[in-house]
Amino acid sequence: MLRQLARDARMRVLAALELPGRAKGLPAQPPIPVPGASLALSLAGLFDEPSGLGQSARSLASALSSQGIAVQRLNLADAGEVAHARHGQGPPINLVHLNADAMRRTHARLGPHFYEKRRTIGYWYWELAQFRRDWHHAFRYVHEVWVATDFVRQALAPHAGHVPVVCLPPPVTAPMRAPVGRSHFGLPDDRVLFLFAFDAASQEARKNPQAAIAAFAQAAVHPRAHLALKVINGEAGRGTWRRHGHAGITVLDGTMSAEDVGALWHLADCYVSLHRAEGFGLTVAEALAAGRPVIATDYGGVTDYLDSEVGWPVPWREVAIEEDCGPYLAGWLWAEPDVAAAARAMQEVTTNLTEARTRGARARERMQVRYAEDVCGAAFRRRLESPQGPA
């Protein structure tokens, strides 16, 4: 109870700190384009970043372009492009692909001219059912918000006021692969291969690699199976996963080419994600698109596309976050996956690879139907041509 009271007091202070500089609201948006008319927009994002946020921005640009929409990219990491955007003429629509916490400083960087007489849309990711009170001001900088999953929509919508929150997922395609085998990565050819990839800088406790290690050890499938942990920014986390002490686990640390990463997805027999929270779950979605079944916590954005037809959803229990973890505050709730259930799923994959491949084939088909570039791009265009209001 004391922790809850302290957290609430801290949130009130943080929210109050936002008040002096908050926006008074954007100008009214211009008229909605007539369906079928030519469309143009400015897409602001971090296009050069290797992160999921960068990949999402690039995929949105491609999907929008596939529908004949003229996309003017604004790389927010490029000071020259930002300076030009502050004063130059731009399209009548802004799509700002940064999360809620970045809205105020982005507005300050780009200046009021960038927002005048334009419809401004935010594309936001978030990972928990609770949303930070000190970020509510972010809704003042957009006319509407697009999100990748219904989980995120439900988290944000109660705090959005008059701002519509619309579920419009990004396209997902199977990763491109290099023509290499498992030996290229020092992985065994003769074993069932499980894979988990994560960014240690993206809240290691949320990604929860320790649970994947524990499930693999509990499954006791070694030496018939092997677990590969692909990590970037390994120095940023606590690194407890390094001390696994298991002969059947290989840690692949460091940056790889996109083709090498894609090869890993295709060389694995099954992908694993025992996360505590996910807003979308890009690695899970990409594994399914590559035709790989997935063992994953049945929580968060992955529930939009993961079920027992294409993988093994892992049950979970709700637990309180013990200490602040990035933007997630102590006392908030997230999922603790059932390691024993995940271990049983690993045993089933190892002993019945035919069933695993059947689910993987269904996964590939599902992702092609729901998350193909033209499908998502068409949904983006329909929304851009629709009057602002509830989705």
- Residue 149 predicted with pLDDT over 90: yes
pLDDT in tens, 102-115: 999 999 999 999 99
For 15-41, b/e burial (b = at least 16 CB within 10 A) is beebeeeebeebeebeeebeeeeebeb
264 inside domain? yes
Q: What is the pLDDT of residue 30?
A: 60
5 burial level (CB within 10 Å; 0-12, 13-18, 19+): exposed
**Residues 220, 118: one domain?**
no
Shared domain for 54 and 199, answered yes or no, is no
**Mean pLDDT, to the nearest integer, of 167-183?**
93
pLDDT in tens, 137-148: 999 999 999 999
**163 and 188 in a common domain:** no
pLDDT at position 371, please?
98
Say if residue 153 is in the same domain as residue 189: no
Residue 303 lies in a domain: yes
- Select the more confidently predicted residue: 177 or 81: 81
CATH code of the domain containing 276: 3.40.50.2000
* Residue 20, pLDDT above cutoff 50: no
In the predicted model, what is the mean pLDDT of residues 233-237? Answer: 67
187 shares its domain with 313 = yes
333-351: pLDDT as tens digits: 999 999 999 999 999 999 9
In a domain, 204, yes or no: yes
Does residue 131 sit in the same domain as residue 239?
no
Mean pLDDT of the chain: 89
Residue 340 lies in a domain: yes
The angle formed by the CA atoms of residues 106, 110 and 112, to the nearest 5 degrees, is: 110
- Span 247-264, mean pLDDT? 90
Could you tell me which of 190, 351, 213, 193 has the C-alpha nearest to residue 271?
Answer: 193
In a domain, residue 1? The reply is no
Same domain, 211 and 111: no
Which residues, at least 6 apart from 194, have a Cβ–Cβ distance to it below 8 Å? 212, 216, 225, 226, 227, 228, 268, 269, 270, 271, 272, 295, 346, 349
Rounded to whole angstroms, the Cα distance separating 217 from 374 reads: 42
Q: What is the pTM of this model?
A: 0.89
Task: Give me the pLDDT at residue 28, please.
Answer: 62
Tell me: do 244 and 347 sit in the same domain: yes
What's the rounded Cα separation, in Å, for the pair 372 and 147?
17
186 and 322 both lie in a single domain: yes
Same domain for 279 and 316, yes or no, is yes
Residues 154 and 275 in one domain: no
Q: How far apart are CA 253 and CA 258, in angstroms?
A: 14
Q: Give the CATH number, domain containing residue 166.
A: 3.40.50.11930
List Cβ neighbours of 292 (8 Å cut-off, separation of 6 or more).
Answer: 195, 265, 266, 268, 269, 270, 271, 360, 363
Domain that includes residue 217, residue range: 182-371
171: preceding bond cis by omega (within 30 degrees) = no
pLDDT band at 4 (very low <50, low <70, confident <90, very high): very low
Residue 4 lies in a domain: no
Residue 379 belongs to a domain? yes
Q: How many domains does the chain have?
A: 2
389 assigned to some structural domain: no
Q: Are 217 and 266 within one domain?
A: yes
